[in-house]
Copies of this chain bind each other. A is one copy, B any other.
Amino acid sequence: MVTTDFVKPKILVVDDEPDAVDLIAFNLKAAGFRVTAAPDGEVALKKARQESPDLIVLDLMLPEVDGLEVCKILRRDTATAGIPIVMLTARAEEVDRVLGLELGADDYITKPFSPRELVLRIKNLLRRRHGGEGGDPDRLQIDELVIDVPRHLVTVAGRAVELTATEFRLLSVLAQRRGRVQSRDQLLRDVWDYDSLIDTRTVDTHIRRLREKLGKAARFLDTVRGVGYRFAES
């Protein structure tokens, strides 16, 4: 539990009612997710870009910029385009309207909803994303590369690869955010410590070491010039 914190899916909850946020956050945490919250669209967009959450729960009704707009912007921005979005709507008939707009949220749920249902839908979306149908969420499998977090084990085409603790964490974080670019700063925050004073070039060194050890599977580690690194979509 403690050792695997860094791969717990991180979920951004966007809602302007603190009570709703609390309720959702409580249930999500109980289900083993990390939670971060935003009260309005502006903060939501900022956090989505900076913290690179694995999924966003987005209330349709928001002050200032409304949920629809936020959704659209998130989809347009490459840094956040891939993140699944679950829309919260107050009334059922709104769903139809929203669907008609085709703005590409991945699921919809109407208030009031049972926390259990929300958790189920979130798990579903995350599972779908990780390709592992019905698979263990702690185990990432991308073609010949398998990352087993609780076991702290990585294999490439069935062959075990020996990674150090840092390398393992770096690979896990990248793999978990497959397809999304992670800036060096973002990686330093998530793989190293919260406010690490480490040089960003250090990330490059670790990427190099990972590539060396991963052999064939190194092809997954894309460099995005001027931005950061990305775990290849496939």
Contacts and interface: CB of A to CB of B under 8 A. Distances in A.
Contact of A228 (B3, B166, B180): B3
Q: How many protomers of this protein does the assembly include?
A: 2
Interface string A156-173: 000000001110000000
A151 B3 contact: no
A151 B225 contact: no
B186 A225 contact: no
Interface in A81-132: none
A69 interface: no
Contacts of A230: 151-152
Contacts of A180: 150-151
B151 A233 contact: yes
Nearest to A186: B2
A185 interface: yes
